[in-house]
Homo-oligomer: A and B are copies of this chain.
Amino acid sequence: MDAVQDEAAGKRARGLDRAFEILDFLRQKRQALKPNEIAAQIGAPRSSVYELVNLLLQNGILEFTGGEGRVYLGRKLYFLGAAYENHFDFTRECEAALEQLADETRETAQFCMLDGNRYTVVRMREGARPFRISTDVGQSVPIPWTASGRLLVAHLSDQEILTFIPPQDFRLPNGEWLEPQTFIAEVRQAEREGLFTFNSIVDSFTHCFAVPVRGEEGHAAATLCLVTPRDDGIANRDRYLDCLKKAAAGLDHAPTRPKRG
Contact = CB atoms under 8 A, between A and B. Distances in A.
Taking the full assembly, how many copies of this chain does it contain?
Answer: 2
B16 A115 contact: no
B84 A20 contact: no
B66 A261 contact: yes
Interface in A123-137: 137
Interface residues of A, number: 49
A148 interface: no
Contact of A81 (B14, B17, B52, B81): B81
Given A79-B120, A82-B81, A87 B30 contact: yes
Contacts of A31: 87, 260-261
Nearest to A113: B75
A19 interface: yes
Contacts of A138: 79, 82-83, 86
A85 B80 contact: no
A61 interface: yes
Interface in A61-107: 61, 65-66, 72-88
A15 interface: yes
Task: Enumerate the 3 nearest inter-chain pairs by beta-carbon distance, A residue then B residue, closest first.
Answer: A81-B81, A78-B84, A27-B83
Interface of A: 14-17, 19-20, 23-24, 26-27, 30-32, 52, 55-56, 59-61, 65-66, 72-88, 113, 115-116, 120, 122, 137-138, 256, 258, 260-261
Given A66-B261, A78-B81, 17 more contacts: A14-B15, A15-B15, A15-B16, A16-B56, A17-B59, A20-B76, A26-B83, A27-B80, A27-B83, A65-B256, A75-B115, A76-B116, A79-B138, A80-B81, A81-B82, A81-B84, A81-B85
